[in-house]
Amino acid sequence: MSALETLAAVNGNIGAIGYGLAAIGPGIGVGIIFGNGVQAIARQPEASGLIRQNMLLGFAVVEALALIGFVVPFILPKG
């Protein structure tokens, strides 16, 4: 059996693998947001309210991106 036949024989939903790879980006993004947010609060404690507000807003945007990446494979038609 050649490699092309083996590749053609793979069946199932590749969307799960795609979402697993797509979840890496938001995971890194959340780590960067909170890591830099904690550093900023440590450097300027008097601005902690504004920093925390912006940090949580950024977190919400990144998590929305992760949820969109989770939903899209289920919405797109299987070809």
Looking at the chain, list the stretches that DSSP marks H as alpha helix, in order from N- to C-terminal side.
Answer: 3-9, 15-22, 24-43, 48-75
Q: pLDDT tens digits, residue range 19-73?
A: 777 788 888 999 999 999 999 999 999 999 999 999 999 999 999 988 887 787 7
Whole-number pLDDT of residue 73:
72
Whole-number pLDDT of residue 8:
55
Average pLDDT rounded to a whole number, residues 2-12:
57
For residue 10, is pLDDT > 60?
Answer: no
Query: Could you give the CA distance from residue 75 to residue 79 in angstroms, rounded to a whole number?
Result: 12
Confidence class for position 9, pLDDT limits 50, 70, 90 = low
